[in-house]
Structure 1
């Protein structure tokens, strides 16, 4: 190596060393038990739905969805549920891992057998999407989320009839939401209020948009006539939001 080459390499090595030390200092600041970083902002800590939303909440959700253990732990911070043994009806139809969801932290549901991942996405949507939108449009929260189902061993429905492919409901990777009951008892439903052009329709459109941040697929009345009365929300998919 020539002296000239050695001189050129020194600044690069110094910067590399500096960045390495800086990275170690930042990491120690994150993982230290007395870290000054608020828990909701600390990406090394697990998802806690009792905490406010931050730019790292979505990333924490992705980590929580990765395994049954992390999913169940995160769901416990923002929902009432009972963990159940895996349900297997056939190789195509099953619920793994299975929970019976009775409500989010703020809203009740008719007991729902579903996958933990679907339940966790719903709890996050309620916490960070539904409840804030209800407060913004009505000045009160939502006390009940009304649904059709999650698990259903069937093929996909299309406007042309049944498809050969199995529905995501066959593995409880989806849930169909039909409407909401506000804290004062007022009802808001997709079939009645999607085109109402008032606070109810504005609320439904706002939460449709927010659901796209917490689910991989959202299909509603704007998608096709089969979804005129419900939001189809999926844990799996490629980001379709209609």
Structure 2
């Protein structure tokens, strides 16, 4: 009997997981940790887990990216420069917002950006200004270099990070990190909301308060650890 009890104690917590993975339980996909990530769905406690899963599964990542509003073209794996390889990447062209230029991004970075734009950036813009962002300005993604004062490769070396410099609102107002981060006005409040939203979807977010090198942009990337500064 003791053996039976121990087997039951082990099986009971595992049973729901097995049932979900095998499709024996019918629950909404957004609450099923094994279901694909849908960028259009409001984020919940499972979103970060689903992002983590797609980081190691190109097909799953491609399926998630297809649910976004991003316009993009897949890129072949390549070595643009010696020592720097780009894999499982796309060329982002636009979405509901325009970009000042196309940029390359790994699929996980593109999915994180899509989540950030839809559920973070535009929410912050409506909350503070009552209107949407129509353009995102950036300094680029790919740069074959090391982290400053380090012998470790930057996430930029694999197009796995993006430097966001500013935004343009529907009424034409332009908001930049370099000019508007400091202070306590609505522009600064908006940028801090954007920074906080970025930390929910990207693994690494570095802003003007981090150091002088980031005074004019948000560095957002998909590094192996999490850091929000």
Report the TM-score, using the length of structure 1 for normalisation.
0.83
Aligned position for 2:114 = 123
| Closer, same or farther: CA 29–155 of 1 in aligned 2, 3 Å | closer
1:126-141 alignment to 2 at 5 Å?
A: 126-141=117-132
Determine if the alignment matches structure 1 residue 215 to structure 2 residue 202: yes
Deviation, structure 1 residue 189: 0.8
Q: Deviations over 1:90-111 (max 9, x none)?
A: 452121122101234x323231
Asked if the contact 1:92/1:171 (under 8 Å) is kept, the reply is no
**Aligned residue among 55, 76, 91 for 1:65:** 55
1:1-242 alignment to 2 at 5 Å?
A: 9=2, 13-14=4-5, 16-17=7-8, 20=11, 23-24=14-15, 27-28=18-19, 32=23, 35=26, 37-78=27-68, 79-104=70-95, 106-109=96-99, 110-158=101-149, 163-242=150-229
Asked if the contact 2:133/2:167 (under 8 Å) is kept, the reply is yes
SS of aligned partner of 1:203 = helix
| Closer, same or farther: CA 20–94 of 1 in aligned 2, 3 Å | same
| Closer, same or farther: CA 239–24 of 1 in aligned 2, 3 Å | closer
Deviation, structure 1 residue 23: 4.8
**Rounded Cα–Cα distance in structure 2 between residues aligned with 1:96 and 1:26:** 32
Deviation, structure 1 residue 227: 0.7
Q: Deviations over 1:77-132 (max 9, x none)?
A: 1122110111213452121122101234x323231122222212211211221121
Q: Deviations over 1:116-169 (max 9, x none)?
A: 2221221121122112111211112222221111001123335xxxx4433221
* Structure 2 gap segments, 5+ residues each: none
* Structure 1 gap segments, 5+ residues each: 1-5
Q: How many residues align?
A: 227
Deviation, structure 1 residue 237: 3.8
Asked if the contact 1:31/1:44 (under 8 Å) is kept, the reply is no
Asked if the contact 1:87/1:98 (under 8 Å) is kept, the reply is no
